[in-house]
Amino acid sequence: MELTGSEILVQCLREQGVDTVFGYPGGCILNVYDALYKHSDEITHILTSHEQGASHAADGYARATGKVGVCMATSGPGATNLVTGIATAYMDSIPIIAITCNVAVSLLGRDSFQEIDIAGVTMPITKHNFIVKDVNKLADTVRRAFKIAKEGRPGPVLIDITKDVTANKAEYERKEPEQVKRITDSIKAEDIEAAVKMIEASKKPYVFVGGGAIASGADTQLNEFVHKIDSPVADTLMGKGAFNGTDPLYTGMLGMHGTKASNYGVSQCDLLVVVGARFSDRVYGNAKKFAANAKIMQFDVDPAEINKNIKTDASIIGDVKVILEKLNEKLSQMNHKEWITEVKSYEESHPMTYHKGVLTGPYIIEKIYEATHGDAIISTEVGQHQMWAAQYYKYKAPRQLLTSGGLGTMGYGLGAAIGAKMACKDKLVFNIAGDGCFRMNMNEIATATRYNIPVIEVVVNNHVLGMVRQWQDLFYGQRYSQTVLNDRVDFAKVAEGLGAKGYTVSTCEEFDNAVKEAIKLNIPVVIDAQIDKDDKVFPMVAPGAPISECFGEEDVAEKFGR
């Protein structure tokens, strides 16, 4: 049947199973929004307060479900406002489709009103992008974009469509989505055999898990693998929940703000098995001294990640779920009781602690964990609160923590929370924010109230840019340049002005009550939780130092002379 480009686009979204789109209209994309209006009973559109909020919401939707998230915006500034969200998804390998519309073909390259080469702008931060100038190519382009976003290492894809293409007509025939196959051809039998021999020869193995294990849906296989080789487990920020955070073999996050148990354990192990992690600089600290006693074996779907930052002794390229399945078939049950006891001694002698009796970031996270029984979806902004959320909430399953790991995007979390709640309506969704981050995206509270999306925003408010101040305090001679936010903004009143319920709390008891009430209300809520400006995230590794030199609050006086 013959349809306009806009109708073809909507039908292709329906083909792909898209039920929710986040976006903001404008002149060049009007035809698409007109088509969406006619299909509002099939595809829900969420009008965000800012296009960046739409891209983060699509990202949150994708992280919470494993499906492809979709956002859209008009040409020019609408399209460029998506860029930070696209880059956030790119750095963390999140599958989203960003749909923009540009000026008509006849107006391209003429500095037309709201014209921008968004394909050129986003080329370095997308897995692939397209500009569609022929309506006859639109359907196949959309289908190809979804496949690219999902296959192999996932990532964002941008489709820019000229306005005349959205109005022109072409024949459309529905097609079932092409099945995305797992990458297995690169998994060599000899590599599997070599890995088995290295694992069996190890006396002190350690498993290090990243976001690739979540992307491949490998949590069941990972659990079997870990218990079969009887190894302690550390994870990255992106890998939270791939291995159950309540399992006795779990030792916490690795790296700059990882636990001392994980940092010491990895520094002492003789084999580090890396599952779907890319070795961020925040993980390895000093590359020359990272896991210096260990052979390193890396499993990853992306060959570009092998030997990029850390030299490996062995590797297997391919889908990590399939790799683990093949290894589990060949491995026999192992026992490393003495090694596990050694690592556990690090936990016992260096426990995660914080000051009791006053409202602090760790207390806030632990109370949210208790109130939600560890079953909530937690999104975060970026900074101290993000690290506390990683350290003190025990993620029992994949896709519970939504956070900007690679790009470190302040302003990410609230949009992501809205996307996650739209996808997982039966789940409690909390966004953990700092006061600096909340200023960047507080307008999305209006989105939550417009549609009554009951997200709970907890602002860990220390009236400073906490993580930057922590660095200034420790490494910059306590010169607090432009990091003090001690002004007269009342976040609870801002929330109420945007239609949400607002609380201001400064004690443990007040916070406990506010969280309980927020859960019962089932409406958008903002809790402004006031903590001390000098609370810090510990443990910590100084930039460029080996992770074995992580230090806690108890070490600050000796290390820094105060």
- Is the dihedral angle over the CA atoms 423, 428, 434, 435 positive or is it negative? positive
Neighbour-count burial of 339, counting CB atoms closer than 10 A to its CB (0-12 exposed, 13-18 middle, 19+ buried): buried
Q: Where exactly are the structural domains of the chain?
A: 2-171, 189-349, 361-538
Average pLDDT over residues 375-399: 98
pLDDT score of 559: 83
Q: Which candidate in 51, 115, 151, 444 is catalytic? A: 51
Let me know if the fold of 189-349 is the same as that of 361-538.
Answer: yes
113 is catalytic: yes
16 is catalytic: no
Helix (H, G, I), strand (E, B) or coil at 11: helix
114 is catalytic: yes
Q: How many residues in total does the chain contain?
A: 562
CB 7 within 8 A of CB 171: no
Residue with tokens 């829900």: 44
Q: Which candidate in 198, 387, 440, 467 is catalytic? A: 467
- What ranges in 51-162 are assigned the alpha helix state H? 51-65, 77-80, 83-91, 118-122, 138-150
Give residue-wise pLDDT tens across range 195-228.
999 999 999 999 999 999 999 999 999 999 999 9
What does CATH list as the number for 189-349?
Answer: 3.40.50.1220
pLDDT score of 562: 65
pLDDT score of 486: 87
Q: Does domain 2-171 have CATH number 3.40.50.970?
A: yes
Residue with tokens 């050129």: 120
Query: Residue 88: is its pLDDT beyond 90?
Result: yes
Residue with tokens 């929330």: 495
Helix (H, G, I), strand (E, B) or coil at 80: helix
51 is catalytic: yes
Determine which of 67-71, 110-114, 248-252, 295-299 has the lowest per-residue pLDDT on average.
110-114
Give residue-wise pLDDT tens across range 122-170.
999 999 999 999 999 999 999 999 999 999 999 999 999 999 999 999 9
CATH class given for the domain over 361-538? alpha beta
Sheet strand arrangement including 401-402: 401-402, 377-380, 429-434, 456-461, 525-530, 501-505
CB 152 within 8 A of CB 301: yes
- Beta strand segments in 81-133, E: 96-102, 128-132
Q: Which candidate in 15, 67, 114, 295 is catalytic? A: 114
Q: Which candidate in 72, 130, 151, 163 is catalytic? A: 163
